[in-house]
Amino acid sequence: MTTQELQALFPGSAARWAKEPKKAREAREKAMAPTSSEPVSLAFDPATDAAKDQFASVDSVSVALYKGRVTDFSVIYVGTEWNNIDQWVAKVSETLSLPGPREWVVGPSETPNKVLKCSGVEIEAATQGGGSSIRIRNTEYLKGLDDRANTLDEKKRRDFKP
């Protein structure tokens, strides 16, 4: 998904962002550009940024962009409580046509969560405080980020002179 496609989902965000200080607007626009080498994180409030019926039961959406492309996004739901994480994972799996709960592994956080690792993508489902969430990450981007950081660190070590 591109920056433009994302903004089309949340047309109200442009009006909200227009009220921010000029420096903040310019920094965000620069970071969201396809030529940017910096990742940027954005938060959307579906109640004000999108059509009311388009995101029923969605409390918030968070998105990470890199070079004008979505690399990570999270959707937090409210209003429906799940008896356990496997019940939520089963619903996510059914809705998104993913493998069932047995294919998911316990996630790294203290929050009840499970993770499904696929080729180039990692999907995390979690429950907490009467709500639930889904997070989808592009793992190829994360690998590339680590590779870039390692290359930069190696250059610093080569160039260092005591």
Helical (H) or strand (E) element with 13: helix 12-18
Give pLDDT tens digits along the chain (162 positions): 777 787 788 888 877 777 777 776 777 777 677 777 777 888 888 888 888 788 888 999 998 888 777 889 999 999 899 999 999 999 999 999 999 989 999 988 778 899 999 888 999 999 988 899 999 999 887 666 666 667 777 888 888 888
The Cα 43–Cα 20 span in angstroms is 14
Residue from 79, 73, 77 nearest 126 by CA: 77
**Strand order across the beta sheet in which 131-138 lies:** 40-44, 58-66, 69-77, 131-138, 121-128, 113-118, 105-106
Note the pTM of the prediction, 2 decimals. 0.77
Q: What is the pLDDT of residue 133?
A: 95
User: 61 and 74 in contact (C-beta within 8 Å)?
Assistant: yes
DSSP 91-147: HHHHHHT---GGG-EE-SSSSSEEEEEETTEEEEEEEETTEEEEEEEEHHHHHHHHH
